[in-house]
Amino acid sequence: MLPDPLVELSAHERRTLLRISNGDARSGTHDPSDIKRLQLLALIEDEGPFIHITALGKQSVGLLGRL
């Protein structure tokens, strides 16, 4: 079962997800607790020096834009 893209994110987590989706994908520049939670929710993948948004993360960003 896939995580729900409408899961409740804190304001900090939403901001971090939006920053990553807008190209600020350098690992180490975001709050580590936000990164860890976004990874647990399968919204991002931390791949060494860069963070990648997943398909589920892109879906979540799209839903955030509608709120």
**pLDDT, tens digit (0-9, with 9 covering 90-100), for 25-63:** 877 788 999 999 999 999 999 888 889 999 999 998 888
Distance, in Å, from the CA atom of 13 to the CA atom of 18, rounded to the nearest integer, reads 9
pLDDT at 3: 53
Q: 14: Cβ–Cβ under 8 A, 6 or more apart, which residues?
A: 64
**Within 10 A of 61 (CB to CB), how many other CB atoms are there?**
18
Does the predicted model carry a pTM greater than 0.85? Answer: no
Give the mean model confidence (pLDDT) for residues 7-26.
Answer: 88
